[in-house]
Structure 1
């Protein structure tokens, strides 16, 4: 089922619902997921993502709640890069670095929206053209992001793009998940299992050094279920330098059907993540400023966790990481599937 409402006289919010009671609400502004309603083991329908109570807050959206991120998700060192010996300079918005596409990135544009509905699924295709020179990036880039909610409780995000010049591009969605429902608890007791044996080491400015660290014997080893809060009180340097938690890029081994599984035992909710991206930033809201009013409660440290499936911008400065360069004539085509299960006791 699909419904639409006007927001603040300038945006539209689309609500997609399946036959099992799950629904997702998406703005044309930033492609922002504002709500994701999922039943718990007792059938209680609750929101499992963080979102602002006052939608005007999305105009600045300092936490990038729920948004499409681009052209490049993550930090670009020194807000600059070179392609074929030509230097490109971007806007610095994270100390000396360029973060999440910069000011007025994809999270702050109004996308064209094309809804669709069939027997088993309902969805939206969002499109946007980023002109040559936009935020300092080369090339005219045509982007589409499709959100599909089906009756198998899968929220599917399909990303597609093309460019007329070689340009860096890696897109993601920046939803903060909290499977306890309505942010009743923080994420400390969420269990995470991840198909990853290496992560990118960060320096004190949160820029990858170019080195990969083996997860064995560290709080980054999620190859078996581990509480996400394990890293919050750890003395391991990589946890402490990001504010006592995680804000790191994990390289997927792609040895399992699902790259991430998240289990919140109290609610009975389990979320499985499957993607063809090479890795993911897991961010545990270590540096979330307090006091912003949400749909449920106010912002606090560790109130949500992002699973930012994407390429790694550090590939622009360090060899050995998968490239994020999109060549003219080539298609960018990525998919991430969030499967929402409920364990009934």
Structure 2
């Protein structure tokens, strides 16, 4: 196993460094200290061809304006905060509104747009990178100074582990995820409609037309949101149903039915298989319904559903601050979340 690194950009005198962590099986993960971002995941298909399975930019300077958050760590709060309004310990806070009248993904200058301190990790059974960022009181409107540590590590069992730990000096909200866009076909040869997806989630949260949540929790039983037995993503995605119409596909929180969330993603042509396990309570499944124009892809017709997100996290904060308590972090408490990605071929 090995770690290599290269300076890929310089911002106001600060080096942007890309680390490549590799195991003995040919799997390689790219990580930059800007946004604690995964830039690539190289894995073999069933024929041994090594290809990338996450969206990233060849020109690393483009990460400096990564408004779709390709591969980045999202914080302080992943997902939406309804109207950007929070009340914590009887004090009202107005967060940065960076999507119409909503706060999303930590604000315009959230964790994804910050330079993180880094440290290489060499252990007997894994290699990795530890990243650290201190978010000051008032940043993007949030209370409290929050110290966040992220560790990406890779072992010879082909497991990429994403560990997050955060502490605060004042009661605040914390809900952190990685925002990688996956496509297991390899180098984006196909869209994701023929990917097979399985999620042990028995409930989902319906959304409003603008993508915010109301606070309702519905069963997945007899709905297009039931992935418990697994199915092709394209099986139901274009059905003329209100919830799918609102998002032009899937862009919904799903609640795991166990303490350990389990997700499987498989693409039959390449044989690539990814198993995700997490101690987060939910996953946001986004089916890449619209990438707009400024993407790594040159043809507009290829952008639609060319990759998908599986954002393991707490529930978003909806209308009337519903689910806020799920993300409250107090002084002397430690926020800890782990998500593991295991890569294989079948």
Q: 1:38-187 maps to which residues of 2 (within 5 A)?
A: 38-187=43-192
Residue in structure 1 matched with residue 293 of structure 2 by the alignment: 290
- TM-score by length of structure 1 reads 0.95
Residue in structure 1 matched with residue 304 of structure 2 by the alignment: 301
Give the secondary structure class of the aligned counterpart of 1:317. helix
C-alpha distance in structure 2 between counterparts of 1:113 and 1:187, whole Å? 33
C-alpha distance in structure 2 between counterparts of 1:198 and 1:27, whole Å? 35
Q: 1:188-203 maps to which residues of 2 (within 5 A)?
A: 188-203=193-208
Is 1:23 matched with 2:28? yes
Per the TM alignment, residue 135 of structure 1 is displaced from its structure 2 partner at its CA by: 0.9
Per the TM alignment, residue 322 of structure 1 is displaced from its structure 2 partner at its CA by: 5.9
- Listed one character per residue, the Cα deviations across residues 31-75 of structure 1 (whole Å, up to 9, x for unaligned) are 111110000000000000011222222111121000000000001
Does the CA contact (< 8 Å) of 2:80 and 2:104 recur in 1? Answer: yes
Label 1:321 to 1:219 Cα distance change in 2 as closer, same or farther (>3 A): farther
- Listed one character per residue, the Cα deviations across residues 194-245 of structure 1 (whole Å, up to 9, x for unaligned) are 00011011011111111111111111110011111124311121111112x1
C-alpha distance in structure 1 between counterparts of 2:323 and 2:120, whole Å? 40
Structure 1: gaps spanning 5 or more residues? none
Residue in structure 1 matched with residue 254 of structure 2 by the alignment: 250
Does the CA contact (< 8 Å) of 2:206 and 2:218 recur in 1? Answer: yes
Give the secondary structure class of the aligned counterpart of 2:34. coil
C-alpha distance in structure 2 between counterparts of 1:76 and 1:34, whole Å? 27
Candidates 307, 325, 330, aligned match of 1:327: 330
Does the CA contact (< 8 Å) of 1:196 and 1:222 recur in 2? Answer: yes
Per the TM alignment, residue 283 of structure 1 is displaced from its structure 2 partner at its CA by: 0.7
Structure 2: gaps spanning 5 or more residues? none
Q: 1:232-251 maps to which residues of 2 (within 5 A)?
A: 232-243=237-248, 245-251=249-255
Label 1:275 to 1:137 Cα distance change in 2 as closer, same or farther (>3 A): same
Per the TM alignment, residue 181 of structure 1 is displaced from its structure 2 partner at its CA by: 0.3
Per the TM alignment, residue 116 of structure 1 is displaced from its structure 2 partner at its CA by: 1.0
Per the TM alignment, residue 112 of structure 1 is displaced from its structure 2 partner at its CA by: 0.3
* RMSD, aligned α-carbons: 1.7
Residue in structure 2 matched with residue 275 of structure 1 by the alignment: 278
Residue in structure 1 matched with residue 7 of structure 2 by the alignment: 6
Is 1:214 matched with 2:235? no
C-alpha distance in structure 2 between counterparts of 1:313 and 1:187, whole Å? 25
